[in-house]
Amino acid sequence: MSIKDPELHPEKLFFTIGEVAAMFDVNTSLIRFWEKEFDIIRPQKNKKGNRLFTREDVKNFHLIYHLVKEKGFTLQGARQKMENKEKSLSETHDLTLRLRKIRDFLAELKEQL
C-alpha cells in the first residue's frame, strides 16, 4: 500500500485531486468516481472549478480505500457499512492507521540497528 500521510504537510489546508490520487496511488478518475458515489466527500471548488479536498475528505478517502481496496467491499457494501457504523468504524480505522505508522517506524528503526 502506498498511502502518503497528509499529516506530513501540516501547513496545507487543502489538497488537489492529483495530490489525493498520489496519496493512494490511484488515478484521479477514481477519486472523481468515489466523490460521486459517496456523499461524505464534498470538495470545495476554486474559481477555475478545480477540486480542493480538506483533511476530513482525505480521512474519508482513507476509510473508503480501506473498505473497498483492502477489505474487498462493494461500493454499496462500503456505503452501507459507513452509514450503519460510522463512528465505531472511523475509530477502528484511525487506530489501524496509527498502528501501521508505529509498525513502519519500528521497521525503520530495526533497519538502522
CB 65 within 8 A of CB 22: no
Phi/psi class of residue 14: alpha, beta or left (left: φ > 0; alpha: ψ in -120 to 50)?
A: beta
CA separation for the pair 97, 87 (Å, rounded): 15
State the Rg of the chain over Cα: 15
Q: What is the pLDDT along the chain (113 residues), one digit of tens a residue?
A: 344 666 656 677 899 999 999 989 999 999 999 999 998 888 999 899 899 999 889 988 988 998 899 889 999 988 888 777 655 666 666 777 788 888 888 898 888 88
CA separation for the pair 63, 15 (Å, rounded): 17
Q: What are phi and psi of 14, to 5 degrees?
A: -130, 155
pLDDT at 28: 94
- What grid cell was written down for 38? 459517496
The partner residues of 15 in beta bridges, in order of sequence, read: 53
CA separation for the pair 103, 13 (Å, rounded): 27
pLDDT at 2: 40
This prediction has a pTM of 0.66
Query: Looking at domain 6-112, which CATH architecture does it have?
Result: Orthogonal Bundle (1.10)
